Amino acid sequence: MVVLLRDPTLDGNPSSVHGRGRRARAVVEDARAAVAAAVGAETLGVTFTSGGTEADALAIVGVSRARRAAGAACGLLSSVIEHPAVLGAGEALVAEGVAREFVDLDAQGRVRPERVEAALRANPALGVVSLAAANHELGNVNDIPAIVAAARRVGAERGESIVVHSDAVQAFGKVRVDFGAWDLDLMSISSHKIYGPKGVGALIHRPGQVLAPLWTGGSQERGRRVGTEAVPAIHGFGVAAALVGEELEDRRVHIVALRDRLLAGLSALEGADVQGDPAHNLGNTVLVELRGCPGELMLMNLDLEGVAVSTGSACNSGRFAASKVLLALEQAPERAGCALRFSLGKGNSEAEVDRVLSLLPTLVERVRAAASGAPG
């Protein structure tokens, strides 16, 4: 039987030993090297997954289960404002009887390394730390090297290592991410956040890191993530990762300038309160509370004008929801329900920001009137 393929290099099974399979394997390994180089990791420390959510689950659940089997501390220290992928992985551990604690945050959602250290020192059952490099709604950037150093100090006191994971899905491509320099054990990234294909991500880890796989039935990705690799998506991920290394600084300068322009315009808007820590921010994310304006109504009005915003994490797609991060920070539901998240990218322009700012006064007035029942 003759099988005709448009591109045998990408259509081959990388686990096969024939020529087409070997060519596909070469594509996967080239992408692995590109991703590793982009994040300061070793090539053998890249395990491809279906995205950031799976990478988070493999990191948190996989390492906790492995430590539990080895008799080491396996409890999880995280925060209440982590991405739903991290919170969900924590819930899975709780269901298995594993301890979980949340580190105390300040009103701006900032993670202080000294609070991480205190929490670990107070509870010897905690052996795994998972804190995002940058928050998905606020845009806050955490001091991951200092957090890792805090965990290392407590681990040295105990005579037992503490594993530190960071969800860097939001940070990768916006700020410099360096797995090796940060001294992390585990880190999650995703392709679509750096303009690569959707449906592929990676768990970055030390080459010898022991993880319990989420499921079994194959030997792909050295047994850590079984199932035939998605070669075309992985190839695209590698290309996108290589471009991050070439374009990061130019992208950041462009996006931060747009963010500052947006913030300046929002500051002139009555009842607009920017959330988070503006001094330590990704640069592409602005979460703003528009007082008296339900977020879902603002979202719909902006959508009709061709402007795409969100009311929280994109993982809540298909339904309107108040900002879960602001709710977790104990803001009143009526305030959290008036939050909008603006996300900026390399393809956005000053003209687009100016158009949004020109639309907002009229839309805010209209939505406030509708929400209060007043004619408008």
Task: Give 346's DSSP letter.
Answer: T
Report the Cα 232 to chain-centroid distance in Å: 23
DSSP 55-116: HHHHHHHHHHHHHHHHTS--EEEE-TTS-HHHHHHHHHHHHTT--EEE----TT-PPPHHHH
Q: What DSSP state is assigned to residue 142?
A: P
Coil, strand or helix: which one is 277?
coil
For Cα atoms 336, 194, 328, give the angle at the middle one, nearest 5 degrees. Answer: 20
Say how many C-beta atoms besides its own lie within 10 A of residue 274's C-beta: 16
**How far apart are the C-alpha atoms of 17 and 223, rounded to whole Å?**
18
21: Cβ–Cβ under 8 A, 6 or more apart, which residues? 12, 13, 14, 15
Strands 126-130 and 75-78: parallel
CA distance 33 to 315: 29
Amino acid at 162: I
74 is catalytic: no
Mention every residue, 6+ apart, whose C-beta is less than 8 A from residue 283.
Answer: 139, 174, 175, 252, 255, 256, 259, 344
Strands 163-167 and 126-130: parallel
Question: Which of 241, 238, 209, 239 minimizes the C-alpha distance to 225?
Answer: 209
Residues in the chain, total: 376
d(CA 143, CA 265): 29
Instruction: Give me the catalytic one of 74, 293, 315, 338.
Output: 315
Enumerate the active-site residues: 315
